[in-house]
């Protein structure tokens, strides 16, 4: 990657960070391009050089953020497989990875969950695509678990995968908003026991 591409990626990362923070604070409609540029420490023209509009910036922000989450989940699954762990172990590792992502990017997670419920946005189709990419990682592990006999063949894989991703998102947001005294280990342990006792069909 050449230096110009590296600089552009760094600039975009600053714009994403500024946009997600501002939109989480005051909403999409109330946030202006001027404010995003000021928060990112760049000229307004830099925003339009990288993105045609505020809406495009937000759409790309969703792609970027969910892409990071997907990579985190996939990495957790791959590393578990490399260690010789089971598919249930991979699910547990992905729960931990998801919690870690949300702990690192709480403002983005809040925006992502909020946008899932809004069906009138221009970027709704993009959001559905990137959501499915994250869920597909979990689906893959569930399918492998069923094939290996670790999980019940009666498992509804698409719905279970979506439920697991949703469980992590909602539990993590609840943790941060209402139970901040808990550690990530506390939350991971609780969700891990739920998966071990329900999805895996074993007793905690």
Distance separating alpha carbons of residues 82 and 165, to the nearest angstrom: 23
- HEC per residue, 94-144: HHHHHHHHHHHCHHHHHHHHHHHCCCCCCCHHHHHHHHHHHHHHHHHHHHH
Neighbouring C-alpha atoms within 13 Å toward the C-beta of 92: 19
Query: For the residues 52-71, what does the mean pLDDT come to?
Result: 91
175 and 104 in a single domain? The answer is yes
Contact call for residues 33 and 12 (beta carbons, < 8 A):
no
143 and 173 in a single domain? The answer is yes
Residue with tokens 């689906």: 139
What's the pLDDT at 6? 86
Query: For the residues 131-138, what does the mean pLDDT come to?
Result: 94
95 and 191 in a single domain? The answer is yes
155 and 65 in a single domain? The answer is yes
87 and 37 in a single domain? The answer is no
Assign residue 15 the CATH number of its domain.
1.10.10.60
What's the pLDDT at 204? 42
* Helices 157-178, 184-198: crossing angle, 10 deg rounding: 150
Query: For the residues 104-111, what does the mean pLDDT come to?
Result: 88
What's the pLDDT at 200? 61
Q: What digits encode the pLDDT tens for the residues 142-189?
A: 999 999 999 989 999 999 999 999 999 999 989 999 999 999 999 999
40 and 95 in a single domain? The answer is no
| Residue numbers of the domain that contains 114 | 54-196
Query: How many independent structural domains does the chain possess?
Result: 2
Residue (of 124, 106, 113, 89) closest to 170 by Cα position: 113
Q: What digits encode the pLDDT tens for the residues 2-55?
A: 677 888 889 999 999 999 989 888 888 899 999 999 999 999 999 999 999 998
25 and 109 in a single domain? The answer is no
- Please report whether residue 91 resides in a domain: yes
What's the pLDDT at 160? 94
Count Cβ neighbours within 10 Å for each residue of 82-118 and write b for 16 or more, e otherwise. eeeebbbbbbbbbbbbbbebbeebbbbbbbbeebeee
What's the pLDDT at 98? 95
How far is C-alpha 16 from the geometric centre of its chain's CA atoms?
15
Query: For the residues 57-66, what does the mean pLDDT come to?
Result: 90
Distance separating alpha carbons of residues 166 and 49, to the nearest angstrom: 35
Distance separating alpha carbons of residues 67 and 59, to the nearest angstrom: 12
70 and 126 in a single domain? The answer is yes
pLDDT tops 90 at residue 119: no
- Please report whether residue 58 resides in a domain: yes
Report the percentage of the chain scoring pLDDT > 90.
63
How far is C-alpha 104 from the geometric centre of its chain's CA atoms?
10
26 and 87 in a single domain? The answer is no
- Please report whether residue 204 resides in a domain: no
Residue with tokens 């990682």: 137
pLDDT tops 60 at residue 62: yes
pLDDT confidence band for 199 (50 / 70 / 90): low
Assign residue 158 the CATH number of its domain.
1.10.357.10
23 and 70 in a single domain? The answer is no
Classify residue 56 as exposed, middle or buried by CB count within 10 Å of its CB (0-12, 13-18, 19+): middle
Query: For the residues 126-148, what does the mean pLDDT come to?
Result: 93
Contact call for residues 138 and 94 (beta carbons, < 8 A):
yes
């Amino acid at each position: 990657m050449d230096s110009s591409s590296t600089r552009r990626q760094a600039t975009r990362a600053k714009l994403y960070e500024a946009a997600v923070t501002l939109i989480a604070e005051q909403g999409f409609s109330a946030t202006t391009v001027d404010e995003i540029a000021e928060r990112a420490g760049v000229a307004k023209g830099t925003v339009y050089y990288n993105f045609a509009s505020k809406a495009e910036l937000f759409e790309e922000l969703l792609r970027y953020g969910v892409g990071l989450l997907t990579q985190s989940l996939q990495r957790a699954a791959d590393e578990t497989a490399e260690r010789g762990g089971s598919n249930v172990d991979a699910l547990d590792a992905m729960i931990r990875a998801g919690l870690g992502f949300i702990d690192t990017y709480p403002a983005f997670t809040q925006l992502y969950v909020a946008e899932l419920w809004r069906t009138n946005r221009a970027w709704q189709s993009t959001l559905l695509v990137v959501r499915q990419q994250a869920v597909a990682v979990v689906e893959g592990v569930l399918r492998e678990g069923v094939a290996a006999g670790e999980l019940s063949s009666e498992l509804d894989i698409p719905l279970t995968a979506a439920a697991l991703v949703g469980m992590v998102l909602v539990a993590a947001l609840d943790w941060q908003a209402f139970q901040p005294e808990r550690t990530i280990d506390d939350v991971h342990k609780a969700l891990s026991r739920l998966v071990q006792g329900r999805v895996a069909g074993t007793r905690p």
